[in-house]
């Protein structure tokens, strides 16, 4: 395959990855890395670099839309970004040290976990319990309700949420993904924030977390221009189309199909990595 | 979050979108030049050998852009892209300062310092 065809095919595949990532809410990164490594035999370190850059593009590109909905909480996001950016620095450093097959193995496990999170039914448990630490840090807000009213909420178990966010940052830096699944778990399950607040605030945070490891990727030679170019442009176009389509498609069915795809890719990556250990 | 907060954020979001579109446009220009000049076999991505560090420095990028080197133009676009979320955090610092929220001026400044450290100094 010559370079022109490679660029075109990777670009078209990236449009598909961005589209699926936006429709499923998991982001393009979880699709693009397995796609590049399994289908195009790209070394996972180049794939991670290309994926991370497209994560920044989609997160920043969609920022205006998330804020307009009025659910995201900037203070909660900013406070937790201390944890995610520090984690991302550590994760990006780990990538330069860890062998390819270990990264592949961890990636496969995270794929399986993401599919599980995306399929699980959400149960809402909002609380106004006055957590002293959360109140001191102003980690609270009001959720706009469909009837025009507001439901006040206060974050719970801040240290656990902060720790999980650090882990989300490590995974983002190590694997080149937005790790939105872990971010939502930290806010939704540990901190008991309303689900809509968790998802939109997570989206707001993803680009900032990714930027923290991008600098190291850039200087360590993970960003191959001829590969990143079609991936970044493709994922960006795909996710823009996806966010427009989102209001019209039946998300539940799509989520199941997509999760099965992710599970298949996760198993494939685990098997590939395990075979290289020998 | 007050209504005013939301207006400022919407405005910041628009600026971010412009930043991303600008970065994408630069990458696209570099990409078109790249496919015009590289008609041979694709580079070997199957084993990691690290890209030359010349593209990663501002001076290297500037020299490459001056000579219309496609890969340097692409890398410059990527640098612009990486800077957009960092600019957003910078704008949050200013926003919290306007609201006289000292604690969150400190929190967002801390995030900004971590980001700047990672992009310019971390090894």
User: What is the model's pLDDT at position A121?
Assistant: 64
Do the Cβ atoms of B84 and A74 come within 8 Å? no
Across A118-128, average pLDDT = 68
Helix (H, G, I), strand (E, B) or coil at A177: coil
User: What is the model's pLDDT at position A231?
Assistant: 93
CB A84 within 8 A of CB A164: no
Q: What are A5's two structure tokens?
A: 């065809």
Interface probe, candidates A42, A232, A236, A240, chain B, greatest B C-beta count within 10 A: A232
Determine the Cα–Cα distance for residues A141 and A79; give it in Å rounded to an integer. Answer: 14
CB A36 within 8 A of CB A222: no
Compute the half-sphere exposure of residue B43: CA atoms within 13 Å on the CB side of its CA. Answer: 18
The region of weakest confidence among A177-186, A225-234, A240-249, B85-94 is A240-249
Q: What is the pLDDT of residues A189-210, one digit of tens each?
A: 888 888 778 877 887 788 899 9
Give the helix, strand, coil percentages of chain B, each rounded to 5.
80, 0, 20
User: What is the model's pLDDT at position B7?
Assistant: 67
User: What is the model's pLDDT at position A9?
Assistant: 92
Q: What is the mean pLDDT of chain B?
A: 82
Do the Cβ atoms of B41 and A7 come within 8 Å? no
Q: What is the pLDDT of residues A15-66, one digit of tens each?
A: 988 888 777 766 777 888 888 988 899 998 899 999 999 888 888 777 656 6
Across A233-246, average pLDDT = 84
Number of domains making up chain A: 1
| Whether pLDDT at B103 is above 90 | yes
pLDDT band at A165 (very low <50, low <70, confident <90, very high): very high
Across B83-88, average pLDDT = 89
Q: Which of B46, B75, B108 sits opposite A223 (nearest CB)?
A: B75
User: What is the model's pLDDT at position B58?
Assistant: 66
DSSP A2: B
Interface probe, candidates B27, B58, B65, B75, chain A, greatest A C-beta count within 10 A: B27
| Whether pLDDT at A67 is above 80 | no
Q: What is the mean pLDDT of chain A?
A: 84
- DSSP H stretches of helix in chain A: 3-24, 29-34, 44-61, 63-68, 74-97, 100-119, 132-136, 158-175, 180-185, 195-219, 225-245, 251-277
Q: Tell me what percent of the residues of chain B surpass a pLDDT of 90.
A: 29
Do the Cβ atoms of B55 and A225 come within 8 Å? yes
| Whether pLDDT at A96 is above 90 | no
Across A91-100, average pLDDT = 88
B104 inside 8 A of chain A by CB: yes
Do the Cβ atoms of A229 and B119 come within 8 Å? no
Residue in chain B lying closest to A84 (CA) = B111
CB A192 within 8 A of CB A157: yes
CB A195 within 8 A of CB A235: no
> Distance (Å) from the C-alpha of residue B69 to the closest C-alpha of chain A?
11
Determine the Cα–Cα distance for residues A170 and A91; give it in Å rounded to an integer. Answer: 4
**Residue A25 sits in which domain range?**
3-277
- Global pTM value: 0.86
B18 inside 8 A of chain A by CB: no
More confident residue, B5 or A201: A201
Determine the Cα–Cα distance for residues B122 and A96; give it in Å rounded to an integer. Answer: 13
Q: What is the pLDDT of residues B49-79, one digit of tens each?
A: 777 766 666 676 777 777 888 888 998 899 8
Residues in chain B: 123
B50 inside 8 A of chain A by CB: yes
Do the Cβ atoms of A229 and B31 come within 8 Å? yes
User: What is the model's pLDDT at position A245?
Assistant: 76
User: What is the model's pLDDT at position B6?
Assistant: 64
Q: What is the pLDDT of residues A252-268, one digit of tens each?
A: 777 777 788 888 888 88
More confident residue, A127 or B67: B67
Determine the Cα–Cα distance for residues B119 and A89; give it in Å rounded to an integer. Answer: 10
Do the Cβ atoms of A88 and B118 come within 8 Å? yes
Question: How deeply is B22 buried, as exposed, middle or buried, from its count of CB atoms within 10 A (0-12, 13-18, 19+)?
Answer: middle
Q: Which of A63, A66, A226 sits opposite B43 (nearest CB)?
A: A226
User: What is the model's pLDDT at position A125?
Assistant: 65
Q: What is the pLDDT of residues A3-14, one digit of tens each?
A: 788 899 999 999
Q: What is the pLDDT of residues B16-26, one digit of tens each?
A: 888 889 999 99
Helix (H, G, I), strand (E, B) or coil at A142: strand
How is chain B split into domains, by residue range? 3-36+55-120
Do the Cβ atoms of A223 and B78 come within 8 Å? yes
Residues of B whose CB is below 8 A from A86: 114
């Amino acid at each position: 395959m010559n370079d022109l065809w490679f660029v075109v095919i990777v670009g078209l595949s990236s449009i598909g990855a961005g589209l699926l990532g936006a429709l499923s809410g998991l982001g393009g990164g979880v699709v693009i890395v397995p796609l590049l490594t399994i289908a195009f035999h790209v070394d996972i370190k180049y794939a991670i670099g290309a994926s991370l850059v497209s994560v920044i593009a989609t997160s920043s590109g969609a920022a205006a839309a998330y804020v307009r909905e009025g659910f995201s909480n900037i203070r909660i996001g900013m406070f937790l970004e201390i944890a995610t950016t520090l984690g991302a620095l550590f994760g990006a450093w780990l990538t330069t040290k860890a062998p390819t097959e270990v990264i592949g193995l961890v990636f496969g496990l995270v794929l399986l976990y993401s599919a599980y999170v995306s399929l699980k039914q959400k149960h809402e448990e909002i609380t106004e319990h006055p957590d002293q630490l959360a109140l001191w840090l102003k980690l609270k807000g009001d959720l706009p309700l469909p009837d025009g009213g507001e439901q006040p909420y206060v974050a719970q178990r801040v240290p656990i949420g902060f720790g999980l966010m650090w882990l989300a940052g490590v995974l983002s830096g190590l694997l080149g993904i937005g790790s939105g699944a872990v971010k939502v778990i930290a806010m939704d399950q540990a901190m008991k924030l309303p689900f809509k607040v968790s998802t939109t605030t997570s989206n707001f945070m993803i680009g900032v977390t990714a930027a923290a490891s991008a600098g190291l990727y850039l200087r360590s030679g993970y960003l191959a221009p001829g590969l990143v170019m079609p991936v970044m442009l493709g994922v960006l176009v795909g996710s823009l189309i996806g966010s427009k389509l989102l209001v019209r498609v039946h998300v539940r069915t799509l989520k199941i199909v997509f999760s099965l795809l992710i599970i298949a890719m996760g198993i494939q990556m685990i098997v590939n990595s395990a075979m290289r250990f020998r | 979050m007050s209504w005013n907060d939301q207006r400022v954020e919407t405005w910041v979001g628009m600026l971010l979108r412009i930043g991303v579109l600008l970065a994408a446009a630069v990458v696209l220009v570099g990409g078109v030049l790249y496919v015009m000049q590289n008609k041979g076999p694709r580079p070997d991505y199957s084993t990691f050998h690290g890209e030359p560090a010349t593209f990663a420095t501002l001076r290297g990028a500037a020299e490459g852009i001056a000579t219309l080197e496609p890969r340097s133009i692409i890398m410059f676009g990527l640098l612009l892209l990486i800077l957009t979320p960092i600019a957003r955090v910078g704008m949050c610092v200013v926003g919290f300062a306007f609201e006289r929220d000292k604690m969150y001026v400190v929190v967002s400044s801390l995030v900004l310092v971590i980001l700047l450290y990672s992009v310019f100094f971390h090894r």
